Amino acid sequence: MMEVKVSQKDERALFYVPEKCIGCGTCVLACPKDAIVIGSVGAVARGEIDKDFVEFTEECITCGMCARVCPTGALVWKTEDEKKVDTVSGSLKTTSVSDKCVLCGLCEAVCPQGCIEVERWFANDGSASVDGNVKIEQEFCIHCGWCASVCPVDAIEVDKPFEGEWSWNESLCQACRTCVDVCPCNALFNPDWGPGEVVEKIRHRVEVCIYCGACAVACPVKAIEVKKTKILVDMDKKAPLEKRILDVPAPEPSRTSILKTNEDVCLGCNSCVVVCPVNASSDPFLAAGHLNDTERKPLLDVQNGVIAVVDQELCGSCGTCSMICPVNAIWLERREEVMHEEKEKPEIKVRV
């Protein structure tokens, strides 16, 4: 894994490991100087834009607060004298497997990060049984608890980083799946349904949620709120961290990307107009595909036969439009001048 040095002051240095970042924004909450920018989390997680989840500004004082709260170890604070500082990720106990393991392989099948491997071979003692072992890539374990939840013999022990609260506004949710694709724990999903059956747009698997907040940061219509209520690990000097990250919502994302279009290849099919969750949230008729019944589309609209971006500042950077476009006529690019403060969005009249 590559460590990128993002700041240095005197004998202190801060490093970022993009491969381990989950886009949760916990570091943004902890930073006392607002020196960390997070945005386009949905598009990054979906591979729809070439950038990292977070960026660092010159205001960083290399205090290490962000590294202390990061649940995955994606931020590393180092000193020349190799001073040891307690961190959330470093204080988590290693996910372990006891001798009770029956090598069934369920843990490997459900691990959302693919960091468990179960090896089996026929026993060498003449019995009709198997021997083997379980390998866990601890560097990428996010301590979600899936493996422990499905283990039939309670052979796995997982230490969780946070307790928290997860809430969701169904009337705002457009079932765009951004939260599902972003969640590092596979704690969110769109339930199946049968003819005439009414189900929730998304469901929350409480047992495997680590309350990181990535889903809330990524949601393009702000339908999800996540709060951490407790740091579960034992660590020194926890109070300053608790003061900054507990009982506050996940951070507001900055506008770190911009929508681009290619009129020469656009088919004018309106697919992006219909699936855009910002568009859909403005009018239920538009969400249902009744394009001609909607005079005003807030974000995307087909004008004169080609796609047009109506208001760039309303984009939630989820990447749903670029995923559905059949000819790659719309996409997201990194915004060179990051917009840190939320512009007051124009009022969108909702038809009910």
Look up residue 283 and give its amino acid: D
Residue 263 and residue 187 share a domain: no
C-beta separation of 168 from 219 below 8 A: no
- Is position 1 within any domain? no
Average pLDDT of the segment spanning 6-33? 96
Confidence of residue 344 (pLDDT cuts 50, 70, 90): very low
Per-residue tokens: 227: 């709060």
Distances (CA, A) of 15 to 5, 54, 75, 334: 4, 12, 6, 22
Place of tokens 């170890």: 73
pLDDT-derived band at 342 (thresholds 50, 70, 90) equals: very low
pLDDT at 207: 97
Confidence of residue 341 (pLDDT cuts 50, 70, 90): very low
Both 26 and 80 in one domain: the answer is: yes
Tokens of 169: 């506004």
Among 10, 284, 95, smallest CA distance to 174 is for 284
311 and 290 belong to one structural domain: yes
Domain with 277, as residue range(s), is 255-339
Examine the fold and report which residue of 39, 62, 87 is the final residue of a domain before the chain moves on. 87
pLDDT for res 338: 62
Instruction: Give the count of alpha carbons within 13 A of 301, CB side only.
Output: 14
Does residue 228 lie in a domain region? yes
Domain assignment present for residue 127? The answer is yes
For 99-109, how does the pLDDT look when each residue is reduced to its tens digit (9 = 90+)? Answer: 999 999 999 99
Q: Are residues 197 and 219 in the same domain?
A: yes
Q: Which pLDDT belongs to residue 339?
A: 53
Q: For residue 281, tell me if it sits in a domain.
A: yes
In a domain, 348, yes or no: no
Secondary structure (H, E, C), the chain: CCCEEEEEECCEEEEECHHHCCCCCHHHHHCCCCCEEECCHHHHHCCCCCCCCEEECCCCCCCCHHHHHCCCCCEEEEECCCCCCCCHHHHCCCCEECCCCCCCCHHHHHCCCCCEEEEEEECCCCCCCEEEEEEECHHHCCCCCHHHHHCCCCCEECCCCEEEEEEECCCCCCCCCHHHHHCCCCCEECCCCCCCCCCCCCEECHHHCCCCCHHHHHCCCCCEEEEEEEECCCCCCCHHHHHHHECCECCCCCEEEEEEECCCCCCCCCHHHHHCHHHHHHCHHHHCCCHHHCCCCCCEEEECCEEEECCHHHCCCCCHHHHHCCCCCEEEEEEEEEECCCCCCCCCCCCC
Identify the CATH number of the domain in which residue 56 sits.
3.30.70.20
| Residues 182 and 211 both lie in one domain | yes
Q: Which residues contact 186 (CB under 8 A, 6 or more apart)?
A: 110, 112, 144, 146, 205, 208
Residue 265 predicted with pLDDT over 70: yes
- Model confidence at 346: pLDDT above 60: no
196 within domain boundaries: yes
Give the pLDDT score at 352.
39
Q: Looking at 68-77, 175-184, 297-306, which range is the least confident one? A: 297-306
**251 to 34, 76, 256, 286: CA distances (angstroms):** 11, 21, 14, 29
**What average pLDDT score do residues 169-198 get?**
94
Overall average pLDDT of the 297-316 stretch: 94
The tens digit of pLDDT for each residue in 201-258 reads 999 999 999 999 999 999 999 999 999 999 999 999 899 999 999 999 999 999 999 9
The answer to whether residues 38 and 23 touch, using CB atoms and an 8 Å cutoff, is yes
Q: Please compute the mean of the pLDDT values over residues 194-202 and round it to a whole number.
A: 90
Per residue in 130-154, pLDDT (tens digit) is: 999 999 999 999 999 999 999 999 9
Residue 350 inside a domain? The answer is: no
**pTM summary value:** 0.91
* 351 phi-psi bin (left φ>0, alpha ψ -120 to 50, beta other): beta
Closest CA to 12 of 83, 72, 68, 70: 83
Q: What's the CATH code of the domain at 123?
A: 3.30.70.3270
If one counts the domains in the chain, the total is 4
Which of 89, 47, 66 lies closest to 318 in space, CA to CA? 47
Tell me, yes or no, whether 352 lies in a domain. no
Same domain, 310 and 332: yes
Percent of the chain at pLDDT exceeding 70: 95
pLDDT for 89-100, tens place per residue? 999 999 999 999
Q: Are residues 70 and 102 in the same domain?
A: no
